[in-house]
Each structure stands twice: as C-alpha cells, then as structure tokens.
Structure 1
Amino acid sequence: MRAANLLALDEPDHVRLRRHITSRFSVRSVRSRTEEIAAIVAAAAARLRALGSPADVFQHFARPISVAVHALVLGIPDHRIDDFDRLFADPSTSQEKADFVRAVLDERRGDPGEDVVSDLLSSELTDAEIEGLVMVLMTSGRDSVAYMISTLTVALLTNPDQLDAVRRDPSLVPGAVEEIMRFGAMFVTLFPRTAVRDLELDGLAVRAGQTVSVSAAAANRDPSRFDEPDRFDVQRDSFGHLGFGHGSHGCVGQQLARREVAEAIGALMTGFPGLRLVSAEQLAPMPFAHPVATYEAGEVLVAWD
C-alpha cells in the first residue's frame, strides 16, 4: 500500500501509477460496457422482484450491482465474486484481503482478459505496485456506488415532484445522478492535504506545512455556487460539484459510477410500478461509515404494487 496508494501519493508517482488504470475507466471504455452493465442491473432487478415487496434496496439491489460491475471491470473471476463481496464489505483482516488480491493476480496471469488487473500484469510496474493498486481499487468506489443508488432512491421517493419529473422524462436521470452527488455527497470531508508552499485560496492564507481538509458536503451546498442548495432538484445544473473529488485526485472511476447509478435508477423507476419508500435509516442520524467521515447508506426499505 505504501508503494501504490493513489489516495496518498503525490507527483510524480501518482501520475505514473494512475495512467496504468485510467483507460478502463474512460468514457469510451464505459460506453463499451453498457450492455454488460445493463445486464447486471436487469439481473439484480429480477432478484429484487423475486424477493417480493417490501425489500431493502441497498442490500438486495445496490450492493449486488456495485459488486458485480466492480468485479467485471477489475477482472475478478466470477467464482471469486462472493469472496470479494465478503472480504471487502464485511469485517476482514488486511492479510485476508492481500491473500485474495494475490490469488486473483495469480489466476489472471494464466488467463488474461480485457480488464484492469490484466493490464497491470502486462505493465512494467513492480509486483508491490501492482498488488497495491489492485488493493486500492478493490477497496475503493464499490461502496460509494451502492450508497449513491440507495440515496438517490430515497431522494426521489421523498420528493414526489422530482420523482414525477424523472418518470415523465427518463432523460433527466443523468442529471439526477449529478444532483445526488451534490445534494447527498458520501464524503463529509475529503482526504487532508498539506501545503508544500505558501499560497492563498479565495482570501484564505495557507502556509507551507499547514494541513487543510476540504468538506465536499459543505462546498456542494455553498449558496454562492448553487441556488437554494438544500433543495433536491433533478433539473438543476449540478456540474462542478465535489462529489467525485477534484483535480489530479478526482475519482478515477467516476464515469463508470455514473453509468451504474443511471442504469440502476432507470430500472427501479420503470420496472417497479407504484414504487414507494417504507423506511430509510439514512433519514435519521447514523454513525459514520468509516473513520474518514463518510455517510452510511443504511437500510432502504421499499414496496411496490
């Protein structure tokens, strides 16, 4: 992790390592996966429907989608997906995670595919850098997608006018995804950064050696940037939000996340007549999901006709 933790590395190592994974998360690459993602979402919707009303969107729909798409793009073999879900979502040791990463790498060495792990194995990176990058990618992003699907569901079902707008015009779904990244950003604060030189940010003096932590949630509700920022509005221009971070450390998988959430929400809105919210834990205060201040999705219980 010290060799390849993209979340903490500075230039030039950050750029050198990141360039080996960006192609699989580009707009073009994500578009090429559209049918596969749609099939994963359709299968998850069918399983949710088979469970019967009511059911938990997070546990039985959002989480399976995020796990399956993550496995598809990274290159985790199908027979290892259940272990991936268990080890990286439920409590497990760092050694168990490392053993799993190495098992996937060993398997992909003999059976390469069109995926991130195979790309890394054919690169000039060291074994430590490859293992570290794969560990970071298996740990990051998946929970965020499940959170976004669940939280956008809650936002739509608690704002009937916005729900009606999306149902009347499905082309509003991509904008709704951007709006939930602004309105319901998962990260209360982004990772702290330390200034290497004196600088001024919008009138705030930061001295070399001082550490700054930026609140994505606060920035996304800045009234000088967004009118009526505490109102959820799927037709708002939400671009410029910090829900995916910003700059060189912006989320590498953000285009994939957008596609997953849009497909999932479209399937829920069109495939479950009379969809309504029974209860949602996130509507009341909850403990943070992580020592890094991130919101928990919680149970999102929905019913349908």
Structure 2
Amino acid sequence: MASGGQQFPRQKQDTQPGKEHVMDPNPQYTSPDYKPSNKLQGKIALVTGGDSGIGRSVCHLFALEGATVALTYVKGQEDRDAEDTLQIVKDSKTPDAKDPIAISADLGFDENCKKVVDEVVNAFGRIDILVNNAAEQYECSTIEEIDEARLERVFRTNIFSYFFLTRHALKHMKEGSSIINTTSINAYKGNASLLDYTATKGAIVAFTRGLSLQLVNRGIRVNGVAPGPIWTPLIPASFSEGKVEKFGSQVPMKRAGHPIEVAPSYVFLACNALSSYISGQVLHPNGGVVVNA
C-alpha cells in the first residue's frame, strides 16, 4: 500500500459512474497476503456496484471464499469494468461454485431491482448474501445548488435501491443469510461539499439498525461498512484534479485506502462462523479516524 502523505496523479473523469480501467494507479482489489479458507463455501451472493472499486474487491474475495457471485453494473458506462470483474471472479472461484453473472440495471427504480433479484434467483435458486453497495455522489458548495432532480437521483441510487433490493431479496433468503450495506465515514463526521450524498449515507446507517431489529427473529443479520477515503472510480468522477491529487491525506494514516483494505470487512460480516453474534453494527475501515459510533 502507498506510504503516508501519498498523492495521486492529477486526473478527472467527466461522467458518473467512473471507470476503473482508466484510473492511475488502478485500485488494488487483491493482495497476496489474503489467505482464503472456504468461509463462504456454497453461498450465493449478490453485490450491487460490483464491477469496480470496493464492489470488485468484495466479489473477488467472496469468490475466493467459495461463493457464487452475481453483480450489478450500469450498462454503457461500466461494460468494460464489468467484463474485467467477471473474468477476475471466474479466475478466482472455487471448483464447486457456479460461474458469476453480471446484470445491468438502474437500481433507483423498484421494478429494476425486482428484475435483478429474479435473474439471480432464476440462475442460482436463492440469495444468501446481499451487499447493497452501489452509489453516486456530486460536489456542491451550498445547498442551493442541489435541485429536486439531483436530490432524487442521489437518493434513488444510494438508499431507495437498498430498500427495493432488500424487500425483493428477502423472499429468497433464509435463516443464516446476511445483508451488508455500504455507508460512509461521512455519515458520522459530515461533509460540507457532499451534502446530499452524506444525507443518504446517514439514512443507510439508520436503515441498517432498524432492519437488523426487524429481521433478527428471522435469523437474518444486517450490518454495514463505513469506508473512509478509498481509491475507487467514484473519486476521479466526483472531484477536481486538485482534490484527487491530495485524496486521503486528511486521515491519521495520511493516505487513501485501497478496496482490498475494505473488502475483508464484508467477508467477516457475511460469514456466520466469524460474525454470528453481530447484527445492527457498522465496521469502520477509515485510515484511523475515530468516530465513536
């Protein structure tokens, strides 16, 4: 991993979602230090936004641990990244796991989320692990810049989709299943320039806590992960070249993290042997920021 005080080359992507294959450097989704041990053998996992960034690393580690993986992506914008991730997962999967699938969808709408769940269930019969991870964000200097259309767009992607996917997936989940929601350090410390994004991430924390209480009697655990500054396509697609260059330098470790430094948190929360007594909680891989929550 990069040393303290690291800076990234100046770069900017003009559209969201961002593209991992054009980033410099490419985010690290794997590590030779990670040693799989069949923690998710036989499980069926659905990972939204699984084509790149944290989602790609989660898909890779889940496959290494024995899971069959389905991922979602945005058609036309993330085709190349989705193809790359499918190949990564195919190369990583264990012999008894089925080949991964990638499903294109705009997850901000209920009917699309139902189609995704139906496609996964038609292919694999059930869902054991649901990772709600897809997100988008835009900078603003004042709340006056956030109009109704933008607010609705961000909320549809970042929190509506979590509700929609969960309510459809639950029909195909049983006792021992796990739901993991991606929130953010911004939900705990705030972020003046990502106001609408930060609001959705706070909603995800509350959603995680409430849903965990609702599903505890069904034996389904619900937890979250709140990453700090992580080098993913969302960064050059969201920020100016100057901010990208210094991204991550504000945390105690003085550097951004890479997806492989976050993805093991999802493995931990997905594995009943490791986290069977944990629900309604959030893990904080954030470079040393103390959030007390």
Provide the TM-score with structure 1 as the length reference.
0.27
- Which has more radius of gyration? 1
More helix by share: 1
Task: Normalising by structure 2, report the TM-score.
Answer: 0.28
